[in-house]
Structure 1
């Protein structure tokens, strides 16, 4: 598992690519759960959204660097 990927003659850290994949996965998850009334059950919806994003990022990073 490489730590850096060549992209247009520049070395890009793998965590940056994992960050982009996490943003896409979070956007798909947010779109999928948009019509569900989940936000009325939490105290701070923005904090829950951020925590979900961090969980996705950590899961993808842990899967890649296992």
Structure 2
């Protein structure tokens, strides 16, 4: 498995994840505040996206 490390925009990933999961019942009722200014985060974009997708979808469902 290859890991591609680069600077990741967490706010963008979280917003994109909520957009992708908008079809789930209750997704539009979730309020979120994202504060990530001044934070440099380096990781694998795909893996971080997958983590947030799992966390957010579980939070909406349960």
Give the TM-score of the pair, scaled to structure 1.
0.37
Give the TM-score of the pair, scaled to structure 2.
0.38
Q: More helix per residue: 1 or 2?
A: 1
